[in-house]
Amino acid sequence: MDTSDFKFIFLGQSVLRYQVPLDVYNIINNIYETKFQQLAPANKQLVGKIQNEHSLFFNGEDNNKMHRHNHLPSNVLNWFESKFKHYLNWNKIKEYQLHLNSIWVNQMKENEYNPVHVHQGSLFTGLSSVMILKLPQQTGIEYSASDKPMNGQLQILGNSSGQFANVDYGPKLQERDFYIFPYDMRHTVYPFNGPGIRRTLAANMDVQYDPIKNRGVS
Protein backbone atom coordinates (compact mmCIF):
# COMPACT_ATOMS: atom_id res chain seq x y z
CA MET A 1 0.00 0.00 0.00
CA ASP A 2 1.27 3.47 -0.88
CA THR A 3 2.61 5.25 2.22
CA SER A 4 3.31 8.62 0.59
CA ASP A 5 0.34 10.34 2.25
CA PHE A 6 0.77 8.99 5.80
CA LYS A 7 3.39 7.83 8.28
CA PHE A 8 3.37 4.52 10.16
CA ILE A 9 4.66 4.26 13.75
CA PHE A 10 4.74 0.88 15.53
CA LEU A 11 4.46 0.76 19.34
CA GLY A 12 3.14 -2.77 19.69
CA GLN A 13 0.02 -1.33 18.04
CA SER A 14 -0.12 0.89 14.99
CA VAL A 15 -0.20 4.68 15.02
CA LEU A 16 -0.83 6.35 11.65
CA ARG A 17 -0.21 10.04 11.02
CA TYR A 18 -1.99 11.89 8.22
CA GLN A 19 -2.07 15.50 7.06
CA VAL A 20 -5.47 17.19 7.20
CA PRO A 21 -6.57 18.85 3.93
CA LEU A 22 -6.52 22.62 4.23
CA ASP A 23 -10.24 22.98 3.54
CA VAL A 24 -11.19 20.48 6.28
CA TYR A 25 -8.76 22.15 8.70
CA ASN A 26 -10.20 25.63 7.99
CA ILE A 27 -13.82 24.47 8.27
CA ILE A 28 -13.25 22.91 11.70
CA ASN A 29 -11.39 25.92 13.09
CA ASN A 30 -14.02 28.30 11.70
CA ILE A 31 -16.92 26.32 13.18
CA TYR A 32 -15.23 26.19 16.57
CA GLU A 33 -14.49 29.92 16.60
CA THR A 34 -17.84 31.15 15.25
CA LYS A 35 -20.09 28.72 17.14
CA PHE A 36 -18.14 28.59 20.39
CA GLN A 37 -21.03 29.93 22.48
CA GLN A 38 -23.39 27.28 21.03
CA LEU A 39 -21.14 24.28 21.65
CA ALA A 40 -21.96 21.90 24.48
CA PRO A 41 -19.24 21.64 27.17
CA ALA A 42 -17.68 18.17 27.25
CA ASN A 43 -15.70 18.51 30.50
CA LYS A 44 -17.88 16.09 32.51
CA GLN A 45 -17.23 13.29 30.03
CA LEU A 46 -13.45 13.87 29.78
CA VAL A 47 -10.42 13.49 32.06
CA GLY A 48 -8.56 16.58 30.84
CA LYS A 49 -7.69 19.32 33.32
CA ILE A 50 -8.80 21.83 30.71
CA GLN A 51 -11.38 24.60 31.02
CA ASN A 52 -12.49 24.73 27.37
CA GLU A 53 -13.52 21.30 26.09
CA HIS A 54 -16.48 21.44 23.70
CA SER A 55 -18.35 18.93 21.57
CA LEU A 56 -18.75 19.23 17.79
CA PHE A 57 -20.47 15.88 17.23
CA PHE A 58 -22.07 13.24 19.45
CA ASN A 59 -23.91 10.11 18.33
CA GLY A 60 -23.38 7.88 21.34
CA GLU A 61 -25.92 5.69 23.08
CA ASP A 62 -25.81 7.36 26.51
CA ASN A 63 -28.07 10.40 26.18
CA ASN A 64 -27.96 10.90 29.93
CA LYS A 65 -24.47 12.31 29.45
CA MET A 66 -25.13 14.36 26.31
CA HIS A 67 -27.88 14.69 23.70
CA ARG A 68 -27.05 13.77 20.11
CA HIS A 69 -25.91 16.70 17.98
CA ASN A 70 -23.78 17.62 14.98
CA HIS A 71 -22.09 20.90 14.01
CA LEU A 72 -19.98 19.49 11.17
CA PRO A 73 -20.85 19.29 7.44
CA SER A 74 -21.09 15.95 5.67
CA ASN A 75 -17.85 16.38 3.70
CA VAL A 76 -15.87 16.71 6.95
CA LEU A 77 -17.58 13.68 8.51
CA ASN A 78 -16.92 11.69 5.33
CA TRP A 79 -13.23 12.64 5.49
CA PHE A 80 -12.97 11.32 9.07
CA GLU A 81 -14.63 8.04 8.06
CA SER A 82 -12.28 7.63 5.09
CA LYS A 83 -9.21 7.92 7.32
CA PHE A 84 -10.52 5.49 9.91
CA LYS A 85 -11.28 3.01 7.11
CA HIS A 86 -7.77 3.50 5.73
CA TYR A 87 -6.29 2.72 9.17
CA LEU A 88 -8.27 -0.54 9.41
CA ASN A 89 -7.47 -1.57 5.86
CA TRP A 90 -3.77 -0.80 6.42
CA ASN A 91 -3.89 -3.08 9.48
CA LYS A 92 -5.70 -5.75 7.41
CA ILE A 93 -8.85 -5.77 9.53
CA LYS A 94 -11.66 -7.52 7.67
CA GLU A 95 -15.46 -7.43 7.89
CA TYR A 96 -15.81 -4.50 10.27
CA GLN A 97 -18.65 -2.07 10.99
CA LEU A 98 -18.04 1.57 11.88
CA HIS A 99 -19.99 3.97 14.05
CA LEU A 100 -18.73 7.53 14.50
CA ASN A 101 -19.31 8.15 18.20
CA SER A 102 -18.00 11.59 19.11
CA ILE A 103 -15.83 14.54 18.07
CA TRP A 104 -14.73 17.31 20.42
CA VAL A 105 -12.18 20.11 20.77
CA ASN A 106 -9.73 20.65 23.62
CA GLN A 107 -8.44 24.21 23.83
CA MET A 108 -5.61 24.37 26.38
CA LYS A 109 -4.05 27.42 27.90
CA GLU A 110 -1.02 27.78 30.14
CA ASN A 111 -0.64 25.09 32.85
CA GLU A 112 -3.57 22.96 31.63
CA TYR A 113 -2.92 19.34 30.71
CA ASN A 114 -4.41 15.96 29.82
CA PRO A 115 -3.33 13.11 32.14
CA VAL A 116 -2.55 9.62 30.88
CA HIS A 117 -5.78 8.09 29.63
CA VAL A 118 -7.46 5.86 27.05
CA HIS A 119 -10.66 6.38 25.07
CA GLN A 120 -13.96 4.55 24.81
CA GLY A 121 -17.10 5.06 22.78
CA SER A 122 -20.28 3.00 22.87
CA LEU A 123 -18.00 -0.04 22.39
CA PHE A 124 -14.72 -0.99 24.04
CA THR A 125 -13.22 -1.61 20.59
CA GLY A 126 -12.54 1.33 18.33
CA LEU A 127 -10.17 4.01 17.13
CA SER A 128 -9.29 7.34 18.65
CA SER A 129 -7.50 10.26 17.08
CA VAL A 130 -5.83 13.61 17.67
CA MET A 131 -5.87 16.51 15.19
CA ILE A 132 -3.63 19.54 15.71
CA LEU A 133 -5.65 22.70 15.04
CA LYS A 134 -3.55 25.44 16.64
CA LEU A 135 -0.25 25.60 18.51
CA PRO A 136 1.20 28.35 20.74
CA GLN A 137 4.19 30.21 19.32
CA GLN A 138 6.22 29.19 22.37
CA THR A 139 5.76 26.59 25.10
CA GLY A 140 8.00 28.04 27.83
CA ILE A 141 11.32 27.26 29.41
CA GLU A 142 12.50 23.64 29.47
CA TYR A 143 14.28 23.41 32.84
CA SER A 144 16.01 20.14 31.99
CA ALA A 145 16.77 18.07 28.88
CA SER A 146 16.10 21.05 26.63
CA ASP A 147 17.21 18.95 23.66
CA LYS A 148 14.07 16.83 24.20
CA PRO A 149 11.30 19.40 24.80
CA MET A 150 8.12 18.12 26.45
CA ASN A 151 6.14 21.29 27.21
CA GLY A 152 2.79 21.05 25.45
CA GLN A 153 3.74 17.75 23.81
CA LEU A 154 1.59 14.77 22.92
CA GLN A 155 3.05 11.48 24.13
CA ILE A 156 1.60 8.17 22.93
CA LEU A 157 2.51 5.16 25.07
CA GLY A 158 2.83 1.77 23.41
CA ASN A 159 2.27 -1.74 24.78
CA SER A 160 5.60 -3.12 23.54
CA SER A 161 8.41 -3.71 26.02
CA GLY A 162 11.90 -5.08 26.27
CA GLN A 163 15.22 -4.08 24.83
CA PHE A 164 15.21 -2.21 21.51
CA ALA A 165 11.40 -1.83 21.57
CA ASN A 166 9.78 1.50 20.81
CA VAL A 167 7.81 2.13 23.99
CA ASP A 168 6.51 5.64 23.33
CA TYR A 169 6.17 8.27 20.64
CA GLY A 170 6.44 12.03 21.16
CA PRO A 171 6.12 13.62 17.73
CA LYS A 172 7.20 17.13 16.87
CA LEU A 173 3.73 18.54 16.35
CA GLN A 174 2.61 20.60 13.40
CA GLU A 175 -0.76 22.13 12.67
CA ARG A 176 -2.87 19.86 10.41
CA ASP A 177 -1.31 16.66 11.83
CA PHE A 178 -3.87 13.89 12.40
CA TYR A 179 -2.98 10.77 14.43
CA ILE A 180 -5.11 7.61 14.61
CA PHE A 181 -4.58 4.83 17.17
CA PRO A 182 -6.67 2.22 19.05
CA TYR A 183 -8.98 3.13 21.93
CA ASP A 184 -6.82 1.28 24.47
CA MET A 185 -3.54 3.01 23.59
CA ARG A 186 -2.58 5.28 26.47
CA HIS A 187 -1.60 8.87 25.72
CA THR A 188 -1.11 12.18 27.49
CA VAL A 189 -0.54 15.88 26.81
CA TYR A 190 1.89 17.88 28.94
CA PRO A 191 1.25 21.47 30.06
CA PHE A 192 3.01 24.43 28.50
CA ASN A 193 4.10 27.74 29.99
CA GLY A 194 3.42 31.14 28.49
CA PRO A 195 0.82 32.93 26.34
CA GLY A 196 -1.21 31.45 23.53
CA ILE A 197 -3.49 28.44 23.12
CA ARG A 198 -3.08 24.83 22.07
CA ARG A 199 -6.19 23.65 20.20
CA THR A 200 -6.70 20.01 19.25
CA LEU A 201 -9.57 17.83 18.12
CA ALA A 202 -10.29 14.25 19.13
CA ALA A 203 -12.63 11.85 17.34
CA ASN A 204 -13.81 8.42 18.49
CA MET A 205 -14.89 5.77 15.98
CA ASP A 206 -16.47 2.57 17.33
CA VAL A 207 -15.31 -0.52 15.42
CA GLN A 208 -17.25 -3.77 15.58
CA TYR A 209 -15.28 -6.73 14.23
CA ASP A 210 -14.46 -10.35 14.96
CA PRO A 211 -10.93 -10.60 16.43
CA ILE A 212 -10.89 -14.39 15.89
CA LYS A 213 -11.45 -14.04 12.14
CA ASN A 214 -8.72 -11.41 11.98
CA ARG A 215 -5.99 -13.49 13.64
CA GLY A 216 -3.06 -13.95 11.32
CA VAL A 217 -4.80 -12.22 8.41
CA SER A 218 -2.42 -11.42 5.58
Q: Does residue 214 lie within any of the structural domains?
A: no
Q: pLDDT tens digits for 90-129?
A: 999 989 999 999 999 999 999 999 999 999 999 999 999 9
* Local confidence band at 84 (pLDDT 50, 70, 90 cut-offs): very high
Q: Does residue 69 lie within any of the structural domains?
A: yes
Q: Does residue 216 lie within any of the structural domains?
A: no
Are 126 and 136 in contact, with CB atoms under 8 Å apart?
no
* Local confidence band at 201 (pLDDT 50, 70, 90 cut-offs): very high
Lowest model confidence (mean pLDDT) among 4-13, 28-37, 209-218: 209-218
> Is residue 194 predicted with pLDDT exceeding 50?
yes
Structural domain boundaries enclosing 40:
6-208
Q: How many domains does the chain have?
A: 1
**End-to-end CA gap in the chain:** 13
Rounded mean pLDDT of 65-75? 89
Q: Does residue 213 lie within any of the structural domains?
A: no
* Local confidence band at 149 (pLDDT 50, 70, 90 cut-offs): confident
Q: Which helix (H) or strand (E) holds 86?
A: helix 74-90
* Local confidence band at 61 (pLDDT 50, 70, 90 cut-offs): confident
> Is residue 9 predicted with pLDDT exceeding 80?
yes
Residue 139: give its domain's CATH number: 2.60.120.620
> Is residue 4 predicted with pLDDT exceeding 60?
no
> Which pLDDT value is given to residue 213?
80
Q: pLDDT tens digits for 161-182?
A: 788 888 899 999 999 999 999 9
- For 103-145, give the DSSP string: EEEEEE-TT-BEEEE----SSSSEEEEEEEEE--S-----SS-
Q: What is the C-alpha separation between 21 and 23, in angstroms, rounded?
A: 6
Global pTM value: 0.93
> Which pLDDT value is given to residue 99?
96
Between 142 and 157, where is the model more confident?
Answer: 157
Residues in contact with 21: Cβ distance below 8 Å, sequence separation at least 6, in sequence order: 79
> Which pLDDT value is given to residue 145?
79
> Which pLDDT value is given to residue 65?
65
Q: What is the mean pLDDT of the chain?
A: 92
> Which pLDDT value is given to residue 46?
94
> Which pLDDT value is given to residue 216?
63
* Local confidence band at 218 (pLDDT 50, 70, 90 cut-offs): low
Q: Does residue 199 lie within any of the structural domains?
A: yes
Query: What is the dihedral angle through the alpha carbons of 199, 101, 117, 181, rounded to the nearest 10 degrees?
Result: -80
